[in-house]
Amino acid sequence: MRILLVFSILACFVCHGQNLDIAIPLHFEKDLIPEGIAIDPISHKVYLNSLKSTKIVRSNLDGSDVEEFLKSHEHGYLSGFGMTIKDNTLYALGNGLSKENNTSILLLLDITSGELIQSYTLDNGSFVYLNDIAVDSKGTAYITDSESSSIYTINPNKNELEVFFSHDEVKHSNGIAISDDNRYLYLASYTSGIRILDIASQKLINQPNSFKGIDGMKYYRNNLFAIVNGRRDLTQNGVFQFKLNENSSEIISDTKIAAFEHASDIPTTFAIYDGHMYFVADSQLDNFNQENNTIIHPDQLENYRLVRLKIPL
């Protein structure tokens, strides 16, 4: 879709070897605190969810036509986490932010009508944080739990979420991606880096590594792209490209392709559309108190901007 540049401003992101791309002003409420993002390639709309307001909003890619797609707490939705779109379905994860009586949810929503297709809740008595989701070409979903060593999936026979894989070496996984041939899962573990799981054998096929601090991650044309926002040295955060070998079973190189505008910025997840990455420049997560669901400094909130970054291949 052709972006209307009249609504855009040049981004101040430092792009290594790339031309500067654009940052598009978004006109949602400033206290949204977005985490998940998805783009519908048919309607060219961008969807953002809200940690604070437990809802989903959307607009055109140029920032126009702002609207509420899912109202606060509608269908039992909770604080928004990872989202993705497969065909005509929006997959949206949500979590209660309190460790006590914690519940997690996955909603499947029709992106044309907004109607609920299916809802899955997880309340097993332990603290679960369903963080991010990847859906393969057949519609099988895989979900990380950043509070445990487990990866979840949907059991269609029981119509519920169940553990697909669990191993200490994928503990505290956040970002998740899947190869185009549905053969490999890529798990961004806080403790052991990017781990590659052979889905059929349920075996980890690579060794622990230093590729840590990853939030959102996606597979695209035999590469993994990721937003790194969790390193203590903020200058080491940014947008990274991890090239894979010919059969996508091994990482052969890593490159930082963009730095954040400010070292303290916290982009989280992203969407890929038409050869570009799209992500919110700063979620303002550092201005949000998850314990009591409040903004710490309301006077410091800023308007959100949607960064469009061309993918180098």
Asked if 2 and 308 count as a contact pair (C-beta separation under 8 A), the reply is: no
Over residues 154-171, the mean pLDDT reads 95
Higher pLDDT, 104 or 6: 104
pLDDT at position 313: 86
- What's the pLDDT band for 4 if we cut at 50, 70, 90? very low
Specify the pTM: 0.93
- What's the pLDDT band for 203 if we cut at 50, 70, 90? very high
- What is the domain range of residue 164? 5-310
Over residues 181-200, the mean pLDDT reads 98
pLDDT at position 67: 97
- What's the pLDDT band for 155 if we cut at 50, 70, 90? very high
Long-range contacts of 262-268 (CB under 8 A, 24+ apart): 263/234, 263/235, 263/237, 264/234, 266/229, 267/215, 267/216, 267/227, 267/229, 267/307, 268/34, 268/35, 268/36, 268/37, 268/215, 268/216, 268/227, 268/229
pLDDT, tens digit, 9 for 90 and up, residues 132-141 = 999 999 999 9
Determine the Cα–Cα distance for residues 66 and 46; give it in Å rounded to an integer.
Answer: 10
pLDDT at position 13: 52
Determine the Cα–Cα distance for residues 7 and 173; give it in Å rounded to an integer.
Answer: 37
Higher pLDDT, 202 or 126: 202
- What's the pLDDT band for 21 if we cut at 50, 70, 90? confident
- What's the pLDDT band for 253 if we cut at 50, 70, 90? very high
Over residues 237-251, the mean pLDDT reads 97
What domain count does the chain have? 1
CATH code, 59: 2.130.10.10
Sorted by sequence, the CB contacts under 8 Å of residue 153 that are 6+ apart come out as 140, 141, 142, 143, 161, 162, 164
Over residues 58-72, the mean pLDDT reads 97
